[in-house]
Amino acid sequence: MPQAIRYTLLSIRDLLISFGPFVLLAGLLLALAYWWIDPMPPKTVVLATGPAQSAYDEIGKKYKTFLAGYGIEVQLRPTEGSSANLELLRSGTVQLGFVQGGSSNSKPQDESSLSSLGSLFVEPVWLFYRSESATRLLGKGGKLTSLTQLKGWRVNVGTEGSGVPALMAKLLESNKVEAEGMALSRLEQTPATMALLAGETDAIVFASAPESLMVQMLLMTPGVQLMDFVQNEAYSRRFAFLSPATLPRGVVDLAQDVPAQDLHLVAPTTSLIARDDTHPALLHLFSAAANQLHGNAGWFNKAREYPNAKRDELPLAQEADRYIKNGAPLLQRYLPFWAANVIERMWVVLGIIVAVLLPLSRILPPLYQFRVRSRVFKWYAQLREIENRVEADGSSSHAAGLVQELNQLETKVEKVNVPLSYADELYSLRNNIHLVRKKLLRA
């Protein structure tokens, strides 16, 4: 083996022996930190949506597509609606779900076990009614503008799991309207719509985003009108979860001028709710998805108005709060998500590890130097012993034996290998052996 390669390998071996335990300790601490923090999210997550063809169902599919780009499988859980989603969140059956403001009575434990990722969009209360029923019950040319006019009507308020019955109960109570004065039904959206078109029901109530196919179809159906909540500002002052909303003239269809005038609506806000034990990286990804999917202008909002934290009924998750205020973190703008996520989640622990290892790292160069030089210095003890014996008894009778010991020592020293940067130490030892030999020969 060439001498240059031999010396290089020797230096590498010394470095590994000296620095190896330090590197091993650092790796162990990093592995423990990674295990403790668990920065990478699970590969699957369950999202509670809503009935088939509902706005929740359509939006849930968009979240599924967005997170699939990061290797996360979103399993969509169809439900009856907002109230059912909240119950599934409370039971831990799902990790996230869409929940409509005012759709259910809150429980004390909700604030400690659930958090919001922000308000995503408004879901106006769509009260559709038959023009024929309005003429029959309110007189010719009659229009619904107040919930007090619903006495004696056949009204479908949706299933319990949708959250609309609880919402309507609050609105009717505020208008001092007794539910017993109406014929209430609780059909699902599709059967309720069929009943309305067949004349079996006078009115139906949805609370849904305008993306709902049912809403868009009924807005274009002749003989079906939408109630004008002329007191929408008053409702928003009475109920914190409600916002006044206006359906602008012509926004549904400009060519046919639908609607033919501005219509006032009341709109609860839908939030994306997560369990507190959901992985933080998942919350971050869902916050990013919400920012992309709900940041555009719509029928009831301007661009970048949502998501926000204005009407949340639950505490806002830290990940969502940072995303709403600052947008995407700096590292995620330049690094892949997995790398940025690991750094962001572990930077505090990395700082602690560096603080622990930094003092230890200062002893490594002296340790390496001592290890290399000890190969040379350990022979000085034997050389000093021979020199002392020369000074004590340098007679010719013992000279031959001492010379032989020096020769044996020199032979051993010649086999010592050190990195080239420490060769001067080795040659100094060999010179000192030569000096002792000269002293012995002069004796």
* Residues 130-164 pLDDT 10s: 999 999 999 888 899 999 999 999 999 988 777 78
Residues forming beta bridges with residue 84, ordered by sequence position: none
Question: Has residue 315 been placed in a domain?
Answer: no
Judge contact between 262 and 172, C-beta under 8 A: no
The mean per-residue pLDDT over the stretch 9-31 comes to 67
Per-residue pLDDT at 306 exceeds 60: yes
Question: Has residue 425 been placed in a domain?
Answer: yes
Question: Has residue 290 been placed in a domain?
Answer: no
Question: Has residue 397 been placed in a domain?
Answer: yes
* b/e burial code for range 329-343 (CB count within 10 A of at least 16 → b): bebbeeeebeebbbe
Question: Has residue 79 been placed in a domain?
Answer: no
Q: Which residues contact 7 (CB under 8 A, 6 or more apart)?
A: 417, 419, 420
Question: Has residue 409 been placed in a domain?
Answer: yes
The mean per-residue pLDDT over the stretch 393-420 comes to 74
- What is the token pair recorded at 179? 């539910």
Question: Has residue 312 been placed in a domain?
Answer: no
* DSSP assignment letter at 405: H
The CA angle 33-37-38, to the nearest 5 degrees, is: 110
Per-residue pLDDT at 194 exceeds 80: yes
CA-CA distance, 292 to 294, in Å (whole number)? 6
Per-residue pLDDT at 411 exceeds 70: yes
Question: Has residue 125 been placed in a domain?
Answer: no
Range of the structural domain that residue 429 is part of: 366-442
CA-CA distance, 39 to 109, in Å (whole number)? 27
Residues forming beta bridges with residue 126, ordered by sequence position: 206
Judge contact between 270 and 123, C-beta under 8 A: yes
Distances (CA, A) of 225 to 127, 245, 260: 8, 17, 11
The mean per-residue pLDDT over the stretch 269-287 comes to 89
Q: How many domains does the chain have?
A: 1
Distances (CA, A) of 151 to 135, 187, 234, 265: 14, 19, 21, 20
- 3-state SS assignment for residue 163: coil
Judge contact between 99 and 273, C-beta under 8 A: yes
Backbone angles phi, psi at 371, to 5 degrees: -60, -45
Confidence of residue 438 (pLDDT cuts 50, 70, 90): confident
